[in-house]
């Protein structure tokens, strides 16, 4: 591809470490409620509800529903299955753990470097309020906050990738999606975007290491955001 | 009102000084093209096309059209009326002067203080790419960039104010619109938002001083963003 004008970032797993952040919040919830459980596994099970729930929206089986609502429905199912009860306010707070995810150690420094050369935006299935709260929590220096919610289409629907280019008034080829997930990148490529893979081996938590896609499958393969900044020719950070 | 959670900012005239920025870009355009004109008046005339053009969209006389396009149409009319010709690339560059407006002197320091206590967002009739470019140019530290474009409704349509609250997942009463324009604030209030007036006497350029609304008409009346931060109880800046 030609040099991109916009870098659009997948967020969960690519920018922030959802597994350890959510596990920590679940453990704190357990302490408050006097409940013991395998919270790392609970976090994995919570996240496992994500794709099937979005797919029901994507396939028209239910109207547009923001991710906060999908997260809460899955959480209630899992709490019920585990026989755990809690008050509504505590459940609301726990559900918003996804608004308080911590960044990978290189994320803020890398984004700050990338921002000097490119427009950097989220392009996430998280809703706007989730992404805005997260940016505040994690001090992520986005130029703007774009979400599937604005397009009424979850990734990997092409409308999400094309909508990002449209709102930023560039051609799809002037946008590079940056993501740790090959399926997201492949859908972006099919919509005409450039692709930047970033390897996040620990995304799924302890005991599970993500596989690398074959070298050369994507326009750029980077070890982290600092490596991405190097490969895209950004000036060194301060 | 109760203390707001979100401050939503009108942008043209409230955050940035459009008249002097656009006049300067017009003068540079004139120099490049060997044309002399009263560029301060040209800037005023350009801006004067803004409300009638948006009203045609608001009243359904034409489909949704982003502000960049409305700006360009008006610019072409004014250049034509003045007998000035220029190339498409130069006109495109000039039209994007609205993406490169300079902030009022207190804006960045004030927003930085306000951001420590509130979620701060744009709520402007400018399109998303315009606002994103402007934030980069002027180093405006928004938490997110919301625009009439996302709602398909220009202010003062209520959908714009209510859409902002909806996307940020708060009630209208938890949002305060901050603006230098009483009409914008009155429409926000009618939609249930709080109101913060900021006095920008020089918005219209030399020789025209904006009038102040009567004391007490809005929830807060501030001299600038630093005064607004003081009145809303934000900690002092660094």
* Integer Cα distance of B112 and B125 in angstroms: 22
Percent of chain A with pLDDT over 90: 95
Distance separating alpha carbons of residues A8 and A189, to the nearest angstrom = 13
The verdict on A223 touching B (C-beta cutoff 8 Å) is no
B119 touches chain A (CB under 8 A): yes
pLDDT (0 to 100) of residue B5? 98
Q: Which two tokens stand for residue A55?
A: 């797919």
**Domains recognised in chain A with CATH numbers:** 6-17+102-231 (3.40.50.1000), 18-99 (1.10.150.240)
A57: exposed, middle or buried (Cβ count in 10 Å: 0-12, 13-18, 19+): buried
Report CB contact under 8 Å: A144, B128. Answer: yes
Instruction: Write out chain B residues lying below 8 Å of A121, CB-based.
Output: 132
Nearest CB to B129; choose among A131, A149, A167: A167
Q: Which two tokens stand for residue A51?
A: 């794709």
Of A133, A135, A167, the CB nearest to B128: A167
Average pLDDT, chain B: 96
Which pLDDT does position A101 carry in this prediction?
A: 98
For a pLDDT cut of 70, what percent of chain A falls above it? 99
A139 touches chain B (CB under 8 A): no
Reported as type and span, the H/E element at residue A4 is: none
State how far residue A103 is from chain B, nearest Cα, in angstroms.
16
- HEC string of B56-121 equals HHHCCCCCCCCHHHHHHHHHHHHHHHCCCCCCHHHHHHHHHHHHCCCECCCHHHHHHHHHCCCEEE
Average pLDDT over residues B208-218: 92
pLDDT at A1: 59
Please check the confidence at residue B9 and state whether its pLDDT lies above 90: yes
Which pLDDT does position B1 carry in this prediction?
Answer: 59
Task: Indicate yes or no: CB of B149 within 8 angstroms of CB of A143.
Answer: no
E runs forming strands in A18-168: 119-124, 144-147
CB pairs under 8 A between A and B: 55
Please judge whether A129 and B167 are an interchain contact, meaning their C-beta atoms are less than 8 angstroms apart.
yes
Question: pLDDT at residue A207 above 90?
Answer: no
Mean pLDDT value across chain A: 96
Q: What is the pLDDT of residue B68?
A: 98
Give the least confident one: A37-51, A161-175, A197-211, B19-33: A197-211
**Mean pLDDT value across residues B197-207:** 92
Instruction: Give the model confidence (pLDDT) of A121-135 as tens digits.
Output: 999 999 999 999 999
Asked if the ipTM is above 0.85, the reply is yes
| pLDDT mean over A100-106 | 98
Work out the average pLDDT over B69-88. Answer: 96
Q: Residue B136: which of A119, A128, A146 has the nearest Cβ?
A: A119
């Amino acid at each position: 591809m030609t040099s991109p004008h916009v870098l659009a970032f997948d967020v969960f797993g690519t920018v922030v470490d959802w597994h350890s952040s959510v596990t920590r919040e679940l453990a704190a919830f357990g302490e408050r409620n006097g409940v013991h459980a395998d919270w790392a596994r609970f976090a994995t099970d919570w996240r496992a509800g994500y794709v099937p729930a979005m797919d029901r929206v994507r396939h028209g089986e239910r109207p547009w529903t923001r991710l906060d609502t999908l997260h809460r429905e899955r959480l209630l199912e899992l709490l019920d299955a585990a026989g755990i009860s809690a008050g509504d306010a505590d459940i609301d707070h726990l559900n918003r753990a996804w608004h308080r995810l911590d960044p990978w150690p290189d994320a803020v420094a890398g984004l700050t470097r990338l921002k000097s050369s490119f427009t950097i935006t989220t392009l996430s299935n998280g809703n706007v309020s989730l992404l805005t709260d997260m940016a505040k929590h994690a001090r992520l220096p986005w130029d703007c906050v774009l979400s599937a919610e604005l397009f009424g289409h979850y990734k990997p629907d092409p409308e999400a990738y094309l909508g990002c280019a449209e709102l930023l008034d560039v051609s799809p080829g002037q946008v590079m999606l940056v993501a740790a997930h090959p399926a997201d990148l492949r859908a972006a490529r099919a919509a005409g975007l450039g692709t930047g893979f970033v390897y996040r081996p620990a995304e799924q938590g302890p005991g599970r290491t993500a596989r690398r896609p074959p070298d050369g499958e994507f326009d750029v393969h980077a070890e982290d955001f600092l490596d991405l900044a190097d490969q895209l020719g950004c000036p060194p950070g301060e």
